[in-house]
Amino acid sequence: MLNGTKNFITNGAHADTFIVFAMTDLTKGHKGISAFVVDAHAPGVEVAHTEHKMGIRASDTAQITLDDVKLRGDQLLGEIKDGFKIAMQTLDGGRIGIAAKALGIAQASIDHSIAYAKERSQFGRPIAQFQAIQFKIAEMTLRTEAARLLTYRAAAVKDQGRRHSNESALAKLAASTASVYCSEEAVQIFGGNGYSKEYPVEKLMRDAKICDIYEGTNEVQKMVISATALA
């Protein structure tokens, strides 16, 4: 029987099935976690509320409550107390997905910035001809291309069936950092227009920030990377 509350569930208000990680042995810490497959429409499962977020507003995020939700034995995922291992394996792959999303934001920031810089004129010429703008585009491109290669490498290692914790952490850290940097620079290149909802870059900036946070914060990625380096 499951009881508890979980915040920030992606697609929580729309999913038909949940994977729930719950403590089945409180004396074992993270080694006492088990994973269960739960029907989202089962008695006791409720969507308490949905979040009003700064960005990624097209992605539903909800709080789920579990009140005396009865489980059958066949709803256990893996073995009892395998939950933490399953969660970590899932995060390794999920971080590659977040890196790919972050890359899309970074690349969109570059594309919009280049198009705008060629179109927008100041002092009698397009702002793309000013070195300050050129240097911004160069730095944005550098960070994005480096992150792209790390993301492709992580995906390749995963496809080979090899452990990819470090590779996915590197990719997620590099790509999320690039997306935040590039989206902020895009807003700067657009100037006052960048702060207006009439132009696309303010949305990119709002969407980018979550990449620093979910599937493990960037501080967590640094813990993974440093642990591998120092092993």
Show which residues are catalytic: 215
Q: What are the φ/ψ torsions at residue 63 (nearest 5 degrees)?
A: -100, 130
The contacts found for 188-194 with CB under 8 angstroms, 24 or more apart, are 188/136, 189/113, 189/116, 189/117, 189/127, 189/133, 189/136, 190/112, 190/113, 190/116, 193/116
Interstrand relation of 45-50 and 2-10 (parallel, antiparallel or unpaired): unpaired
Give the distance from CA 192 to its chain's centroid.
28
